Amino acid sequence: MSDITLEKFENEVYLDFNDPTIDAAQKKAIEEARAGFGKEHDMYINGEWVKGESGTFESINPSNTNEVIGSFQLASTEQALSALDAAWEAFETWQYTPAKERAEYLLKAADVVKRRRMEINAWMVSEAGKNYLEADADTAEGIDFLIYYAYEAMRLDAGMQVKDSWGDANKTIYMPLGAGVSISPWNFPFAITLGMAAAPIVAGNTVVAKPSPDTPKLGHVIAEIFEEVGLPKGVFNFVTGENIEVGEALTTSPKTRFISFTGSKAVGLHMAEIAGKVVEGQHFLKRLVCELGGKNATVVDADADIDLAADEIVKGAFGFQGQKCSAGSRTIVVESVYDELLEKVVEKTKVLKVGDAKDNYPNGPVVNQKAVDKIMSYIEIGKKEGRLMAGGKMADTENPGYYIEPTVFADVAEDARIAQEEIFGPVTAFIKAKDTDDALRIANSTQYGLTGAYFSRDPKKIERALREYKVGNLYINRKCTGALVGAQPFGGFNMSGTDAKAGGRDYLLYFLQPKSMTLRPHKDVDMSLPEFSYTK
Has 242 been annotated as catalytic?
Answer: no
**Cα–Cα distance, 197 to 207 (Å, whole number):** 6
Query: Which is nearest to 300 in space by CA: 327, 328, 274?
Result: 328
129 within 8 A of 7, measured Cβ to Cβ:
no
Tell the burial category of 324 from Cβ atoms under 10 Å away from its Cβ (0-12, 13-18, 19+): buried
**DSSP state string for 422-480:** ---SSEEEEEEESSHHHHHHHHT-SSEESEEEEE-S-HHHHHHHHHH---SEEEESS-S
Query: Which is nearest to 189 in space by CA: 224, 222, 218?
Result: 218
The C-alpha angle 417, 419, 423, rounded to 5 degrees, equals 75
**Cα–Cα distance, 367 to 394 (Å, whole number):** 14
Out of 119, 127, 134, 291, pick the active-site residue: 291
Pairing of strands 68-73, 56-60: antiparallel
Tell the burial category of 522 from Cβ atoms under 10 Å away from its Cβ (0-12, 13-18, 19+): exposed
Q: How many helices (H) and strands (E) does the chain have?
A: 16, 21
Has 291 been annotated as catalytic?
Answer: yes
Out of 127, 134, 152, 325, pick the active-site residue: 325
Quick one: how far is CA 341 from the chain centroid?
Answer: 31
The residues facing 418 across adjacent strands are: none
The sign of the torsion formed by the CA atoms of 383, 398, 212, 203 equals: negative
Q: Which helix (H) or strand (E) holds 377?
A: helix 369-385
Active site amino acids: 291, 325
